[in-house]
Structure 1
Amino acid sequence: MDSCCEPQGYDRVFTAGVARRDAARYRRSGLTRDPQRVVDLYRAGEVRGETVLDVGAGIGDLGLELLRAGASHVTAVDLSPGYDDVAASLAAQAGLSARVSRATGDLAARPGLAEPADVVALMKVVCCYADPGRLLAVAAGAARRHVVLSYPRDTWWLRLFARGSALAGRWRRTSWRFAVHPERDLLAVLEREGLTVTRRERAGVFTLVVTTRA
């Protein structure tokens, strides 16, 4: 497994304790809404492909469910090493370790962390990344068929929450921030890389988008 010490301080926010809580929730009630919709769309054929690159994979639950749904291999990339042990345990318990690769690091800064894949997923990732345009450009370049992503809606009250998270980040001495980016800016990056929006769903504070290569 590749690893590197990234400067953003994500390991102070996304810790092994967070990973254990996420795993307990997953074992208890399965995927949360947006990742589950990705699996549903995969089963329905709207998202297609044998290989998956899961960016900001966390405990790797989306990847495991996509493998169960028919994918052949998942590469999981995350900035924080705090998820690694829990993710490995979940994959082993599911009997899927041989079909999962994992790398720790910043994909935007180190595109070589992962090989191209049919489907690239970024679930609630761009809101936690300082330069989402750069990350999405790299993700799009790695996608043979689809980029699937979710991001917070651009509302005044979420922008207010984002400002609060910035203050909390300074107090915790980490450069991690929650950010709300204009939807048009995010989608424009993918469009420049040859991807077209084929599905958009809104539920709660997040939007789920499927983009497809022509």
Structure 2
Amino acid sequence: MSSCCEPQGYDRVFTAGVARRDAARYRRSGLTRDPRRVVELYRSGAIDGESVLDVGAGIGDLGLELLRAGASHVTAVDLSPGYDDAAATLLAEAGLAGRVQRAVGDLAARPDLAAPADVVALMKVVCCYADADRLLTVAAGHARRHLVLSYPRDTWWLRLFARATTVAARWRRTDWGFVVHPERALLAALEREGLHLTHRERTGAFTLAVLTRTRV
């Protein structure tokens, strides 16, 4: 059940039909660029035995590949229930269903949806969430070791696209919209929670960043 504080209407944008198309694409060609780079960064035993919290998990393809790379367990959280059936089918096909727990809801509004994990991932999530500071503060609080984040570059053409999605969201009566948050504000929110930037790279229209928990 959604709370009054959670974004509304995401299930009308991220539907079961979208999930089926995403699953078909994944079966055909594997991970998209940003999730693929995350798996590459955690190769060579770097994620062996680690737990993962995948926020905005969609069909759960990133979590599935991180399990194959050595992760012990994945918790997948998404605002839309439309992904659940496709995600369950992919996990069953891979024989990994027992190592993934899925939850539907807004982690920023309901932090108890997931326990802390060694690695927290937010792939193209903050660009779909208006209050990025709130979401990242909660996500950082769940990250024991690393937080992996992808976000759109602050360019004029992405800002133009964001304005167009705002109009479309009003027409569709949903809170969803594409948002370009300033990079400085995103990283500052995570740094306030004891994480510091250890890797950053440009991935087309997006930036991929890895932040690491500061050891006291």
Does structure 2 retain, via aligned residues, the 8 Å contact 1:77–1:103?
Answer: yes
1:186 paired to 2:186? yes
Structural mapping, 1:126-165, within 5 Å: 126-165=126-165
Q: Letter of the aligned partner of 2:148 in structure 1?
A: V
TM-score, normalised to structure 2's length?
A: 0.95
Does structure 1 retain, via aligned residues, the 8 Å contact 2:119–2:147?
Answer: yes
Shift of 1:97: 0.4
Matched residue, 2:177:
177
1:28 paired to 2:31? no
TM-score, normalised to structure 1's length?
A: 0.96
Structural mapping, 1:116-127, within 5 Å: 116-127=116-127
Structural mapping, 1:188-203, within 5 Å: 188-203=188-203
CA–CA distance in 2 between the matches of 1:139 and 1:158? Answer: 25
Q: Letter of the aligned partner of 1:201 in structure 2?
A: E
Question: Aligned with 1:146: secondary structure?
Answer: strand
Matched residue, 1:72:
72
Does structure 1 retain, via aligned residues, the 8 Å contact 2:45–2:70?
Answer: no
Shift of 1:202: 0.1
Q: Which runs of 5 or more structure 1 residues have no equivalent in the other structure?
A: none
> What RMSD, in angstroms, separates the aligned Cα atoms of the two structures?
1.3
CA–CA distance in 1 between the matches of 2:185 and 2:48? Answer: 25
C-alpha distance after superposition, 1:136-188 (max 9, x if no partner)? 00000000000001000001111010000001111111111100000000000
Does structure 1 retain, via aligned residues, the 8 Å contact 2:39–2:66?
Answer: yes
Shift of 1:203: 1.9
Matched residue, 1:86:
86
Runs of 4+ in 1 over 2 A off after TM superposition: 3-7, 44-49
Q: Letter of the aligned partner of 1:200 in structure 2?
A: R
CA–CA distance in 2 between the matches of 1:7 and 1:206? Answer: 23
Q: Which runs of 5 or more structure 2 residues have no equivalent in the other structure?
A: none
CA–CA distance in 2 between the matches of 1:203 and 1:39? Answer: 14
CA–CA distance in 1 between the matches of 2:177 and 2:44? Answer: 35
CA–CA distance in 2 between the matches of 1:202 and 1:147? Answer: 17
Question: Aligned with 1:154: secondary structure?
Answer: coil
Q: Letter of the aligned partner of 1:207 in structure 2?
A: T
Matched residue, 2:115:
115
Shift of 1:4: 3.6
Alignment CA distance shift 1:129-1:49 (3 Å): farther
Does structure 1 retain, via aligned residues, the 8 Å contact 2:50–2:71?
Answer: yes
Does structure 1 retain, via aligned residues, the 8 Å contact 2:7–2:176?
Answer: no
CA–CA distance in 1 between the matches of 2:48 and 2:195? Answer: 14
CA–CA distance in 2 between the matches of 1:47 and 1:127? Answer: 26
C-alpha distance after superposition, 1:67-117 (max 9, x if no partner)? 000000000000000000100111111000000000000000000000000
CA–CA distance in 2 between the matches of 1:24 and 1:207? Answer: 26
